[in-house]
Every structure is written in structure tokens, then in C-alpha cells.
Structure 1
């Protein structure tokens, strides 16, 4: 694939990632301070909206695939982008008397728009790539766009000081519009005529076993990755005693390290494949996180090294499994004779969102078991570092055993050239004997 097309495609990842900082950090704090809603109701509304949001990705994926023969993913993105822009605009600038209903409607509209942009966007990327190398490049460039979007949000937040939400809203709208214009230059490949739909049961029955394994690994790994993100601000403030400005600098270092390391991971994946590259990234991240459990006040420099090393693994930790999922989605589409890219990434999106919810649902209740003060400060480093590192080591062990099983098989069930399956060989031999 030409680099210009990759850049044009990767542009949409920026506003999607840019949205994360205000949505998950500033929105809860803003609404919790409103007299008509308060802290408890804000948490309940956001939790309920997130539960509903878990179901929208697979539902949208199935809908998109059913209508793929008539409606290109770009059209769905054009429908979702105004919903995303309008929902985020209203969500980020609530009136002083905004209540629970206002929050529920605006955050639900934002989530719905995000789904109608993100699911077809990922599915389109899987359609664009034809070879494993293409899938790696698409996923890597998309991850680069995501990291740059997060960096831009951090920089704008620092520049805007206290009144950050209106600035972030305007920047997100401009990025979203620019990304849509960039996508005009990305090729849109036609599909065969006709509309074909399958039930969820048939879809799961035809899902490659490698995709099921990959979804499980992704869920575990994303949960482990989301735990430090959930506890980062608490860890920096209570354990390291850092200011908000210093915390922002460390986050910036983390994401810049991710951007710098992406070309190295892509080069390694060309030599050893996505599974082994992902395995190495998981191991490096787990090992780099362990020292954070022993840091304390005055150890900001050592924690900067932790951020540098773990940030360097971020790109491979996200891009490599996404590239594998894209390859498996293409294999499933070819096996069924119909598009299944959106359904595959609908399940992927649901697993990602479930991981974020699980991370908060595990780490925060565990932390609340310790009394505020010294006991909680002593437990926080272990929950921040050792718990996610332990889960990542478990994922690494599972991936080591299954990494050769995460490869797509063709319609006849014959595995790729990287793997030999004895059962398939026996079936082929029996078929040859019958022909004799």
C-alpha cells in the first residue's frame, strides 16, 4: 500500500483517540461538580451508559456487514461523525442546570456516534489490506494516529489550563472534519452484488478458532493495560507526590515513546511475525512495570524510565493483535463468501470496552478495601504495577502456547504455510485414497 493512502487512512484515528482524554477524565469531574447531579449520580449514569455501549459494537458490526453490499463503511462514518460531533459538543459544555437525563442523552449520543465511526473504520482497514504485511502497516499507522491524537489532547490540555473542555471540543471537531476529508482519498473497493446475512449462531460457528483465542487474549491483555491507566493519576499523586504538571509531562513522555518505537516494532514483525512481536512487547511491558511497585516520593526520574520503557511497548501491544484480527477477519469473510470484517471488529470493540470496565471494576474496589492514608498508599503501588504485570505474564504464557494457532486458515480448512495441522493432512489423505 502506498504511504499516502496509509496516512490518509490513519488520520481518523487521531480524533477518536483525542476524544478519550476529555471523555474519561474531564467529563466525570465536570458533571460531579454540578449541583443537579453530583458525584454518585454521575457515576451511575456513566456506568449504565457504558453497559449499553458494550452491546452497540457487535450489533453495529453485524448490521454493517449485512448492508456492506449496498453501503460502504465510509457512508456509515459520514452518518456517525455528525452524531459524534454533536454529542461530544453538548457533553463537553453542559448548562449549569444540567441533570442526569442531560448527561445520559449526550453521553449515549457520543457513544453511538463513536461506534458508527470506529467499527466501519476498523473494518475498512481490514478490507484495504491484502497481505499480512499490509495488515501490519495499516494497524501500525492507525496506532500512530491514535498516539498522536492522545499527545495532541495532552498538549492542548496543558495550554488551556483550567478551561480545557471547550478548547478540546473545538479541536476535536476540526480533527474529525479533517479526517473525513482525508478519507476521501482512500480507495473504496466494491463488493459482489447481493445482500447476505447470517445469524449470530451461524456467525460464531464459522468464526475461526484463532479469532476466538485472540479475542480472549485481547480481553485479558487490554484489562491488564487498562489497570495502570485507571490508577495512574492516583499513583502519581499519592505515591510519587507529583504535581499535575509533572504528571502530564510523564504521560507525554509515555506516548512520545510509543510513537518513536513503532517503526522498530514494524520492522521486527516483518522478520518474526505479529504473534512473536506481540509476545515480546507483552513481556517487556510486564518486566518494565514491576519496579514501579518499589518507587516512592522523590523517585520521579525512575518512574520516567518506567514510562519510557512501557510506552515503547504500547504500539506493538495494540497494533499487532489488531493486525492479527484483521487477517482472521479476511479469512472468515473468504470462508463464508460474504463480508465479516465489521462483525469481527464489532466483537473486538466490545472486548476492548469490556476490558476498560473490568479494569476499573477490579482495581478500584480492591483499592477501596484499604483504609485511606498509609495503608492505601502502600497497597496502591502493588495494584498499579504487580497486578497488571502478573496478568500480562499470564497472557504471555497463553500466547506462547497458542501463537501458531492465531493464523488464518483457508476455506478448505488447510492451515497457512506457517503451520501444519495433522487432522487436515489426514482428511486430505483420506480424500485422495477415495479418489483412487
Structure 2
């Protein structure tokens, strides 16, 4: 392995444990707390929405903090501390020692703690990657290593918790312990390996001095100036938001759809694993396509493929397992582009010498806003008569299917339309 490949591998490794903790939170935690621990669906949805709003608001602030720590030993110290907090909070999320009304408070507190620790690590990690270079090919390969490791983490997370929770030999609170232990080991190891990644590109002397003179300005001011002064970045946020929401909604409803609409409880883990395996296989192909037509053109092609594959999901019901697996393959293949290409476009929108922390903070803010809004589908489905743990037939089943697949396809089409702009208006580096 050449030095460049070794550096990319050292950088990409952290994507694996970060993905391991992210997927169970927004895919499996709602079903875990409602179907297994007895929390009402509307309560779980409201908690997920409110905690995500709190999480969303902190990202620009964390981005500025990451910029201030860039290039110093304090950054790695902050990452180590955040990692330990994340492992502890993740364990608390899956092993609540309370029940009844106290369970809702525990769920909310654990989510806030997990989100805070995970957010800082993720923002600092993405900002690190945006400083690896300005060349589109370098940024794409770095994103591919990061997202490839992330897909591997997602594969572990999609099969592991579902398989452990399906065991009837242990209580739900104890079943997830092996997964938590594996996550903790991989997270600590990945942060240690990150030291061997290429050093961050530092800001210019004048900008560094200005950053120290200005102090810790309110995040809202930094967000406003970034949006005001960077047209390319503003243009990119619209399709990114619509596309993110089109992915977040089915992610939040996948377990409910498979268990109650398809009535295929044992196929939750295999379906998720197949979906993310297809994403892993598609990732290198989208990187190659990006080299030919550019990251924007490749991303648009992937959106079209996702719509064509997923729209059929709204028509599926009990007994349509084979058709659903084909949908998983097509949508998963398209997901590879969603993982690798948008961060490349983001990095190309960041002006030379300017700290990327604020940009990454806004970027992750938008992604988390999508997750927060997707949680509102749970109270909506509850109001329309859907009850987790029982077959979704009749009107509730149709509404579940349309919300799971129909609405995301409309949002994806909106994202595809919003990305119809001159190619150089986004991909040309802002100077």
C-alpha cells in the first residue's frame, strides 16, 4: 500500500464506527422503544423530533469549535473525550434501567448525549477531510474511503442489533451488549489511527489571527455570513435538503414497513444488509462515473435511478418480499452516490484558506433537520390508525406504504429538479 493509500485508509477508518452508531439510532431505536419497551409511537416520534432539533442547533457552534482546535493537540484530546462520552451514552440508550413515564425522560436524555458527542466527532471529521486537498479526484477518493468504511459500519449495524434483539434468550436491554462493546473498540481504534492521516491544511496567517481576535462569535452570525457570501453553497443546500429528507423518511419507517406492512419480521436484518451491501458495491462505480461526468452529473443520475427503483415500494404489501428485495438492491446501489458525491461538492464550495468548520456545521445541520422532520411521520401515522407490532392492512397500511415510498420519491424528484443548474455554478472552486 502506497503512502497515499495508507493516509486515505487512516482517514477513512473513523467512518466505520460513526456509521455503526448512527444507523441504529434513527432506524432501530424507534421500533425498539415502541415495540419492545412499550413506549407509545407518538411519544417516541415527538422525542426524536425535539432531540434532533436540539442536535441540529448545535452543529454550527461545534463547527466553529473544531476550526479553533484545528492543527493543535487539543483537537485529538477533544476527540478522545467525545469518543468516551459517546460510548457511555450509546450504552445508556440501549440499556434503560427504568420503565413507564421515566422511560421517556431516559430516552430523551440518552439521545441528547449521544447526539452531542457524535456531532462533534462527525463535524471535526468532515472538516478534516475537506482539508485533504482541493482537487476533485483527491476529495472524491477521500470521500470514497470514508463512506466505504461507513457502509461497512452500516452493514454491521443493520444486521447486528436486529439479530441480537431477535434472540429470545436474553432481555432486550442485555441483548445489545456485544454490539456496544464492538462499537467502543472500533471507535477508540479509529481515533488512534486518525493520527496517521495527512495533516490538516491550515488557514492563512491573517485569517488565523482574525479568528483568534474575533473570539467565539455567536454561531448564528457565522452561519449568516457564510450563506450570504457564498452563492454556490446556498444553491447546493436546496437539493441536499430535499434529497436528505427523501432518505431520512424511509430510514425512519423501514423496520415498521418490513415488520408490519410486508409481515416479514425475520427479514429486517437481511433486507437492511442487502440495501447497504448494494450501496457498498455501487460506491466505486459512482466514483468512476464522477470522474467522467463530474460529481454533480453523477449525483443527478443516481437520483433518477433511486426514483425509478423506489417508486414501486408504495405498491407493496404482504407477500411481496422478493419485489421488496429488488427495490432494496436498486435503491441501495443509488445510495452509493448519495454517500460519496455531495461531500465533494461541499468541499469545492469552501473558499481557499477559510476554515471549513462552519460550512460542515451548516451541512450537518441540514442533514439532522431532515432526520428531525422525518420523525414527525411517526405521530402522523399514529393519528391515522397505524399501530406498531400488528399487521398494517387497510387504510393504515396504505398510508404507511405511501409515506414510506411515495413521499420520498416526490422529494427526490424535487432534489433532482433543484440540481438542474449550470455545472460550473457549483463545481467551480470559490476563490
TM range (shorter): 0.7 to 0.9
Q: In the alignment, does 2:274 pair up with 1:253?
A: yes
CA contact (8 A) 2:147 2:340 kept: yes
What CA distance in whole angstroms lies between the structure 2 residues aligned with 1:309 and 1:390? 17
Seen in structure 2, the aligned counterparts of structure 1 residues 317 and 89 have a Cα distance that, compared at 3 Å, is: same
- The equivalent of 2:342 in structure 1 is 321
Seen in structure 2, the aligned counterparts of structure 1 residues 292 and 75 have a Cα distance that, compared at 3 Å, is: same
Seen in structure 2, the aligned counterparts of structure 1 residues 287 and 131 have a Cα distance that, compared at 3 Å, is: same
Q: In the alignment, does 2:362 pair up with 1:378?
A: no
Shift of 1:74: 3.7
CA contact (8 A) 2:162 2:268 kept: no
What CA distance in whole angstroms lies between the structure 2 residues aligned with 1:158 and 1:235? 15
Seen in structure 2, the aligned counterparts of structure 1 residues 238 and 102 have a Cα distance that, compared at 3 Å, is: closer
Seen in structure 2, the aligned counterparts of structure 1 residues 65 and 323 have a Cα distance that, compared at 3 Å, is: same
Q: Deviations over 1:375-413 (max 9, x none)?
A: 1112332222222111111211121235432124443xx
Q: In the alignment, does 2:206 pair up with 1:184?
A: no
Matches within 5 A, 1:48-63: 48-63=50-65
Under a length normalisation based on structure 1, what TM-score does the superposition of the two structures give?
0.84
Gaps of 5+ in 2: 215-220, 387-392
Matches within 5 A, 1:273-352: 273-329=294-350, 332=351, 334=352, 337-339=353-355, 341-352=356-367
What CA distance in whole angstroms lies between the structure 2 residues aligned with 1:247 and 1:169? 20
Seen in structure 2, the aligned counterparts of structure 1 residues 408 and 66 have a Cα distance that, compared at 3 Å, is: farther
Q: Deviations over 1:355-376 (max 9, x none)?
A: 1112232x34554454454111
What CA distance in whole angstroms lies between the structure 2 residues aligned with 1:9 and 1:19? 18
Describe the SS at the equivalent of 1:189. Answer: coil
Describe the SS at the equivalent of 1:19. Answer: helix
Q: In the alignment, does 2:5 pair up with 1:3?
A: yes
Q: Deviations over 1:210-255 (max 9, x none)?
A: 111111211111001112112222322333221x221221111101
Between Structure 1 and Structure 2, how many residues are aligned? 402
What CA distance in whole angstroms lies between the structure 2 residues aligned with 1:77 and 1:195? 24
| Equivalent of residue 91 in structure 1, options 90, 93, 106 | 93
- The equivalent of 1:356 in structure 2 is 371
Shift of 1:183: 1.0
What CA distance in whole angstroms lies between the structure 1 residues aligned with 2:27 and 2:117? 19
Shift of 1:44: 4.6
CA contact (8 A) 1:69 1:195 kept: no
Give the ranges of 4+ consecutive aligned residues of structure 1 lying more than 6 Å apart after TM superposition: 37-40
Q: In the alignment, does 2:120 pair up with 1:116?
A: yes
Gaps of 5+ in 1: 412-436
- The equivalent of 2:66 in structure 1 is 64
What CA distance in whole angstroms lies between the structure 2 residues aligned with 1:237 and 1:67? 45
CA contact (8 A) 2:257 2:401 kept: yes
CA contact (8 A) 1:73 1:124 kept: no
Describe the SS at the equivalent of 1:94. Answer: coil
| Equivalent of residue 139 in structure 2, options 135, 141, 144 | 135
The structure with the largest alpha-carbon Rg is 1
What CA distance in whole angstroms lies between the structure 1 residues aligned with 2:37 and 2:307? 40
Higher RCO structure, 1 or 2 (CA under 8 Å, sep 6+): 2
What CA distance in whole angstroms lies between the structure 2 residues aligned with 1:92 and 1:298? 32
What CA distance in whole angstroms lies between the structure 2 residues aligned with 1:401 and 1:20? 32
What CA distance in whole angstroms lies between the structure 1 residues aligned with 2:32 and 2:224? 45
Q: In the alignment, does 2:249 pair up with 1:227?
A: yes
- The equivalent of 1:421 in structure 2 is none
Under a length normalisation based on structure 2, what TM-score does the superposition of the two structures give?
0.85
What CA distance in whole angstroms lies between the structure 1 residues aligned with 2:321 and 2:33? 32
